[in-house]
């Protein structure tokens, strides 16, 4: 990682345009990646690098910052699991409710690439539930009328 990428990671609030969007995406990917890892160093970020290239195109520094933030969040989730899963889910839910444009950042094609069959059954189930939650967040935010709110009319 270059010095510029490291500085952008550390001082992202000051120097990085739309850093909240990048952090939101990083939190989503950390949440879906964490169940398949024993530790943050154990995680395979090869697919994440491909996804970062698809999202950020030729902006190498933004890709590096994104990867670093996902690593940070993944380590934080694994260090404090299982409570940190709940905290991350609540945080994502809160952010989507506050700003519906965040829901457009949830790309299920990218998310589904991280679902794994070679992990334990409970971790697979956790990943599947996280993916379902993210899909629900994406769909609910894009729906102009909440059908559950108006079902008694």
User: Is residue 147 in some structural domain?
Assistant: no
Q: Angle at CA 98, nearest 5°, toward 71 and 69? A: 10
49 φ, ψ to 5°? -60, -40
3-state SS of 6-55 is HHHHHCHHHHCCCHHHHHHHHHHHHHHHHHHCCCCCCCCCHHHHHHHHHH
- The pLDDT of residue 27: 92
Q: What's the token pair of residue 85?
A: 């899963």
Tokens of 19: 């850093």
Inside any domain, residue 22: yes
**Per-residue model confidence as pLDDT tens digits over 15-41:** 555 668 888 999 999 999 999 988 777
Residue 120's domain comprises 3-141
Q: What is the pLDDT of residue 143?
A: 61
pLDDT (tens digit, 9 = 90+) per residue, 123-132?
A: 999 999 999 9
Angle at the Cα of 25 (from 62 to 9), degrees rounded to 5?
A: 40
Q: Which residues of the chain have pLDDT under 50?
A: 7-8, 10-11, 14, 147, 149-153
| Per-residue confidence (pLDDT) for residue 152, from 0 to 100 | 42
| Residue 152 covered by a domain | no
Cβ contact 16:100 at 8 Å: no
The three-state secondary structure class of 120 is coil
Q: What is the DSSP letter of 101?
A: G
**How many domains, in total, are found in the chain?**
1
Give this prediction's pTM.
Answer: 0.81
pLDDT at 108 (0 to 100)? 94
Counting every residue written for the chain, the total comes to: 153
Report if residue 117 sits inside a domain. yes
- Domain membership flag for residue 79: yes
Is the residue at 36 inside a domain?
A: yes
Minimal CA–CA distance to 24: which of 92, 86, 110? Answer: 92
Q: Examine residue 150 and state whether it is found in any structural domain, yes or no.
A: no
């Amino acid at each position: 990682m270059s010095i510029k990428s490291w500085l952008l990671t550390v001082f992202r609030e000051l120097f990085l345009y739309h850093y909240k969007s990048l952090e939101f995406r990083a939190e989503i990917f950390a949440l879906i990646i964490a169940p398949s890892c024993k530790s943050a160093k154990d995680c395979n970020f090869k697919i994440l690098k491909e996804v970062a290239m698809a999202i950020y195109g030729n902006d190498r520094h933004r890709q590096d910052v994104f990867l670093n933030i996902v690593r940070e969040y993944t380590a934080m989730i694994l260090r404090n699991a299982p409570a940190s899963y709940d905290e991350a889910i609540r945080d994502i839910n809160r952010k989507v409710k506050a700003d519906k444009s965040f829901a457009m950042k949830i790309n299920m094609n990218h998310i589904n690439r991280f679902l794994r069959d070679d992990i334990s059954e409970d971790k697979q189930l956790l990943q599947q539930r996280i993916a379902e939650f993210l899909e629900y967040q994406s769909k609910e935010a894009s729906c102009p009328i909440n059908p559950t709110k108006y079902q008694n009319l």
